[in-house]
Amino acid sequence: MLAEFLAELDQLSCDALTAFQSAGDVAALEAARIEFLGMKSGRLKSAQKGLGAVDKADKPKAGQRFNQLKQQIEAALEAAQARLDSGAGAVTDGPCFDPTLPGIRPRLGHLHPLTQTIEELKDLMGRLGFSVVDGPEVEDEWHNFEALNIPLEHPARNPLDNFYLATAQRLGCAKPQAVGTGPQAAEEKELLLRSQTSTVQIRVMEKTPPPVRIISLGRVYRPDDADATHYPMFHQIEGLLVDRGITMADLKSVLRLFASSFFQDDVHIRFRPSFFPFTEPSVEVDMSWQGRWIEMGGAGMVDPNVFRAVGYDPEEYTGFAFGLGVERVCMRRHNVTDIREFYKNDVRFLEQFT
C-alpha cells in the first residue's frame, strides 16, 4: 500500500509542477490551481484520502511525504504567480524534473571477508617487516615437493591427493622422465595445482640471497570433499624468515604477536610437536578459542635439506617458516562455523562483513 501511495504522490508532483510551469497566463494558472489545490475536488485533496488506506505502521512516512508534496506544490504555485507578475511567459525548458525527489540508492558492495582478512594480514605482517610475494598456482613438482624435502615415495605426492594437470608427458605424447632428480627443464616438468604455499619459500630463496623475511598469501588446492572444515580450494598465509641466529623463540614471538594483534584479545597460542618434511623441528600451531584449542596451521625451523636445495649454507643460516589457513583465521575472528559459507556468494552472509 505504501509503495502505491508514494508512487501516486510522485505522479501528482510531476503533473502539478508541469502544469504550473507551463501556465502562460493568469487564467491557465487559476485552472491549474483549482485542479491541484482546489478545496473540494483538487487532486491533492483526493490524494489525502488515499492516506487513510495506508497501513498504520507506514502512516508517519506517508504523511511526511504528503506534507512535503503539499509544500512543494504550493511553492510551485507561488513561483508561477511571481513569474507571471514579472511579465515572463511559461517555462518551456524540458520535461518536469523534480530535483527534490529522493533518488534511487545504489547498492554498494564491499570486499569479500577473505579478501579483507588477507589485506589485514598483509598490513599486520608488513609492520613486522615481512614483505609480500606472490607465487604461481600452477606449480611443478620441484617447488611443490622435491625442494621442500618431500621425496618421490612420500604419500603427500599421491596423485589421488593432488590436482595433477594433464601434461603432454602424462598424456603419453612425450617421453616419460625420471622425477626426483632436481629442477628439470620446463617441458619435462609434471605440473599440478599447488597444494601448499610453501612453494613460494623455494621460489624466493632460489632468487634471493639471505636474509629473507617474506609472507605469501594465496590459494591452494586439494581434492578434499567439501564439509564444514574442508574445501577443495582454500587460502594459506606462508611466512619465512632466514638470517643468522634465528631460533624457535623468534618463531613463537612472531606468531604470538600476530595472534594478539589480529584477534585483538588475549589469545593464547600453543605449539604441539609434529612433522613436516621441510621443517625440523616441526610444530602444529593452535590458538585458543572459546575455551578450546583450534589448529591454525604448521610451523618449524627450516630443514637443512631445504637450504641445500636452494643453495643456502645451513651451517651459516637458520630460519623459521609457518603456514596458516586464512579461512581458519577468518572463521575464528568472526565466529563462522562452516567454511562453505565463504564460497556460496550468498549476500545475506556476505553483507555481515561491511
Interface residues toward ligand DAH, by CB under 6 A = 196, 198, 238, 276, 279, 297-300, 321-323
- Give the number of other Cβ atoms within 10 Å of residue 268's Cβ: 12
Tell me, letter by letter, the H, E, C secondary structure of 305-337.
HHHHHHCCCCCCCEEEEEEEEHHHHHHHHHCCC
Residue with cell 504567480: 81
Rounded to a whole number of angstroms, the minimum distance from the CB of residue 268 to ligand DAH is 20
Nearer residue to ligand DAH within complex by CB, 162 or 279: 279
**In terms of Cα–Cα distance, which of 217, 178, 223 is closest to 199?**
217
How many alpha carbons lie under 13 Å from residue 238 in its C-beta half-sphere? Answer: 23
Rounded to a whole number of angstroms, the minimum distance from the CB of residue 297 to ligand DAH is 5
Q: What are phi and psi of 149, to 5 degrees?
A: 70, 30
Rounded to a whole number of angstroms, the minimum distance from the CB of residue 322 to ligand DAH is 5
Nearer residue to ligand DAH within complex by CB, 19 or 299: 299
C-alpha cell at 78: 507561488
Q: What are phi and psi of 74, to 5 degrees?
A: -65, -40
Nearer residue to ligand DAH within complex by CB, 77 or 299: 299
Nearer residue to ligand DAH within complex by CB, 13 or 198: 198
Alpha-carbon distances of 126 from 22, 216, 260, 354, rounded to whole Å:
65, 11, 15, 23
Max CA pair span of the chain? 103
Nearer residue to ligand DAH within complex by CB, 36 or 234: 234
Outline where DSSP puts E strands in the chain. Answer: 131-132, 138-140, 163-164, 191-193, 212-221, 233-243, 269-276, 279-289, 292-302, 318-325
Rounded to a whole number of angstroms, the minimum distance from the CB of residue 186 to ligand DAH is 24
Nearer residue to ligand DAH within complex by CB, 42 or 136: 136
Rounded to a whole number of angstroms, the minimum distance from the CB of residue 99 to ligand DAH is 58
Nearer residue to ligand DAH within complex by CB, 9 or 301: 301
d(CA 247, CA 232): 34
Rounded to a whole number of angstroms, the minimum distance from the CB of residue 278 to ligand DAH is 6
Rounded to a whole number of angstroms, the minimum distance from the CB of residue 342 to ligand DAH is 18
Nearer residue to ligand DAH within complex by CB, 66 or 234: 234
Cα–chain-centroid distance for residue 35? 55
**In terms of Cα–Cα distance, which of 236, 230, 232, 171 is closest to 198?**
236
Rounded to a whole number of angstroms, the minimum distance from the CB of residue 56 to ligand DAH is 59
Query: CA torsion, points 235, 241, 247, 250, in degrees to nearest 10?
Result: -70
